[in-house]
Structure 1
Amino acid sequence: MIFADALHASLSALKALKTIRPQIDDAAALILDTLRHDKKLLICGNGGSAAEASHFATELVGRYQKTRASLPAISLSSDGSLLSCIGNDFGFEQVFARQIAGLARPGDLVVAISSSGNSPNILAALHEAKTLGLSSLALLGRGGGAAAPLATCALTIPSESGAACQEAHLFLIHYFCELIDSVHA
């Protein structure tokens, strides 16, 4: 893909966010309500989406643009020892679901990030959230895949480009952080 094509795909995905604005507002309300009640975000993804999960948790526990109280968020994609243990003993499909089963408490929010929406471990994570009665937010792409109907709130980027979907996901993460910073001291 040449530069102009890549830029066009990214800009198109970002502009298309306007078409899912009601879902974005619902997702923001879900996140803010979770944090307002001193509950945590359990965030997961694979590959580039794992990096975005870590990025989101870092912005919440550390800081985004302003210094404020540290907020409860865990990237389920970040502990290599834990991932390899669960993957070896229970299968890679269970690497996030097993952590959710052990770490989640009532009122917590599971945030699943997947540009395809079809990763077996993301689907298992969303199933586990549902089993535990937790709300879930899925940042998806390429039509949402099998994950879209499993999430309490699904934000499906209207793009077939995995890279453009990830870039839009990062934009949304930063947008949510802006909102969080505006209400948390």
Structure 2
Amino acid sequence: MVAQASTAPSLLGYLDSAIEVLKRTTETLDPARMEAAVAACTTALGAGKALLVCGNGGSASDAMHITGELVGRFLKERRGLKAICLSSNPAVLTAWSNDYSYDTVFSRQTEAYGEAGGVILGLSTSGNSRNVIAAFEVAKSLGMTTIGVTGEGGGKMAAVSDILIDVPSRSTPLIQQVHICLYHYLCEQIEARLA
């Protein structure tokens, strides 16, 4: 049996691609949008309002990561912050999806936990996750700020995001890698202002 040559990029080629997306992000992302996201989250959490976070797949893991950093700690010793991951309770996710629809699994939890003055942060590399969009629509009806963290252009989430932070790429893994940088910065800034 003859081994086939790999068509996958080399490690250095892959890292160069990641660096290129990070570089494009520094060139296209208006820092005022990130500052608006930091301010919205800081204001809500400082007032005892919840920050709801949701996403699917890898973005669900990122939603858990963000809330873990804020409930626990990022870099400083401080009080816990009211950050709630809508992607991590398997009983809620499976019961609601089985009885109703996965498209409304986050909007139902937003009804339960959301309130005026709170914030919802939704992660979607395509910007087209129906359940995140539905959650944003409910959040807006409750008087919450909606922050979309997406890939290039924001997809359908752009229309329902008060603040859109989009990474200039269409590659899911590369978008997610930049998302980690962005939400680590968000967590660091929230903590610095509230610690």
Tell me the TM-score normalised to structure 2 length.
Answer: 0.90
Q: Does the C-alpha gap of structure 1 residues 133 and 181 become closer, same or farther in structure 2, counting only changes over 3 Å?
A: closer
Letter in 2 for 1:123: I
Unaligned residue ranges in structure 2 (runs of 5+) = 1-7
CA distance in 1, matches of 2:169, 2:139: 26
CA distance in 1, matches of 2:144, 2:83: 15
Unaligned residue ranges in structure 1 (runs of 5+) = none
Per-residue displacement from partner, 1:126-185 (whole Å, max 9, x unpaired)?
Answer: 111122221110100032110011111010111111111111111111101111221222
* Alignment of structure 1 residues 19-98 onto 2, 5 Å: 19-20=28-29, 21-98=31-108
Q: Does the CA contact (< 8 Å) of 1:87 and 1:95 recur in 2?
A: yes
Tell me the TM-score normalised to structure 1 length.
Answer: 0.95
How large is the RMSD of aligned CA atoms in angstroms?
1.2
CA distance in 2, matches of 1:85, 1:97: 14
Q: Does the CA contact (< 8 Å) of 2:50 and 2:113 recur in 1?
A: no
Query: What displacement does 1:79 show?
Result: 0.3
Query: Secondary structure, in 3 states, of the residue corresponding to 1:138?
Result: strand
CA distance in 1, matches of 2:13, 2:87: 31
Query: Secondary structure, in 3 states, of the residue corresponding to 2:139?
Result: helix
Aligned residues: 185
Which residue of 1 is the match for residue 4 of structure 2? Answer: none
Q: Does the CA contact (< 8 Å) of 2:115 and 2:143 recur in 1?
A: no
Q: Does the CA contact (< 8 Å) of 2:153 and 2:166 recur in 1?
A: yes
Identical aligned residues as a percent: 37
Structure 1 consecutive aligned stretches of length 4 or more whose deviation exceeds 6 Å: none
Which residue of 1 is the match for residue 185 of structure 2? Answer: 175
CA distance in 2, matches of 1:139, 1:168: 10
Larger radius of gyration: 2
CA distance in 1, matches of 2:108, 2:156: 20
Which residue of 1 is the match for residue 16 of structure 2? Answer: 8
Which residue of 1 is the match for residue 138 of structure 2? Answer: 128
